[in-house]
């Protein structure tokens, strides 16, 4: 991850409503939730919610997909992992494995890596 992308990602999260949206989407997992649910859960008006979701999508922290009449939003876990790795790559006096083991364990509990998802999708075909 480049500095510019990290700054954009961090800036997108540096606002109370957007951070709350992001945390809700992390909790929801890879399937995400419809925009209406986000608005109701966080008591955010639709126009305000749309603005904040746009900022998160633009920064690459969240993705959207249309399903029927609804737009579902979900965390981009690869981008989140890239940001966390960027922030910790020089930690522990040049021994990032000390820090990243904890980070990878936490991410592993939440979401399988994209490569594992792709393999499981192929095996179902």
CATH topology classification for 3-76: Arc Repressor Mutant, subunit A (1.10.10)
**Chunked in runs of 10, what are the mean pLDDT values of the chain (125 residues)?**
91 95 94 95 95 95 94 93 83 65 59 46 39
- Asked if 73 contacts 62 with a C-beta cutoff of 8 angstroms, the reply is yes
Position 118 scores a pLDDT of 40
Position 104 scores a pLDDT of 60
pTM (2 decimals)?
Answer: 0.75
Beta bridge partner(s), residue 75: 62
Report d(CA 19, CA 124) in Å as an integer: 35
Position 48 scores a pLDDT of 94
Domain ranges of the chain: 3-76, 78-124
Terminal Cα distance for the chain, rounded: 33
Position 60 scores a pLDDT of 93
Position 115 scores a pLDDT of 44
Position 54 scores a pLDDT of 95
């Amino acid at each position: 991850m480049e500095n510019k992308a990290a700054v954009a990602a961090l800036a997108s999260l540096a606002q109370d409503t957007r951070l709350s949206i992001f945390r809700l989407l992390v909790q929801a997992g890879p399937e995400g939730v419809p925009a209406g649910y986000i608005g109701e859960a966080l008591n955010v008006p639709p126009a305000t919610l749309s603005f904040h979701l746009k900022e998160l999508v633009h920064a690459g922290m969240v993705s959207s997909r249309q399903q029927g009449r609804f737009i579902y939003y979900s965390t981009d876990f690869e981008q989140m992992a890239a940001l966390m790795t960027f922030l910790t790559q020089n930690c522990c006096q040049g021994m990032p494995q000390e820090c990243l083991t904890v980070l990878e364990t936490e991410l592993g509990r939440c979401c399988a890596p994209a490569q594992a998802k792709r393999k499981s999708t192929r095996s179902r075909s």
